[in-house]
Amino acid sequence: MIETFREASSESVYRRLFELKKELTDQDLRLITEVDFVDVVQLVAVLEKDGRDHVVGGGRYMRSAGQKAEVAMLIDDEFQGLGIAPRILRHLVTIARASGITHFEAEVLPSNEAMLKVFARAGLAVETTPTEGYVYVLMDLTGGDTPSRGNG
């Protein structure tokens, strides 16, 4: 995870964290690695790169209140646009539903059109609300069996 974070462009890091950050702190690493697969779930995508496994991105949700959870993703720049984020989102939705979560929420920078498209094409009812500085996204997980398999 540290290597993937270091390889991500400053723009990708900013889109995910809303701040420029060059290194992960010990607290950041705890947030990434301490999961219970009920209230906090972290999934990663691993591909072979240069003859070894490499984490090319990840997505997580953290229960925020009751049946809502905040969802976020970071995909290594080199691997963006390959459908990794939609696949991770599909799996997160499945796990969240099994844990009683009915809604995902996210704060997305308006310039992060790719992430907004991933959410919009997920096959879920999605509401977006522009606010000062970001777009608030609310996804309803209660409809349908599984999100669509779009490429996003």
- Looking at residue 57, its pLDDT comes to 87
**Predicted TM-score (pTM) of this structure:** 0.79
**Is the pLDDT reported for residue 51 higher than 70?**
yes
pLDDT band at 146 (very low <50, low <70, confident <90, very high): low
Neighbouring C-beta atoms of residue 3, cutoff 10 Å: 10
Q: Does residue 141 form part of some domain?
A: no
pLDDT at 151 over 50: no
Domain-embedded: residue 133: no
Q: What is the CATH number of the domain that holds 79?
A: 3.40.630.30
Question: What pLDDT is attached to residue 150?
Answer: 44
Query: How sure is the predictor about 34, in pLDDT bands with cuts at 50, 70 and 90?
Result: confident
Question: Number of structural domains, the chain?
Answer: 1
Range of the domain at 89: 2-103
The set of residues, in sequence order, having a beta carbon less than 8 Å from that of 42 and lying 6+ positions away, is: 32, 33, 35, 58, 59, 60
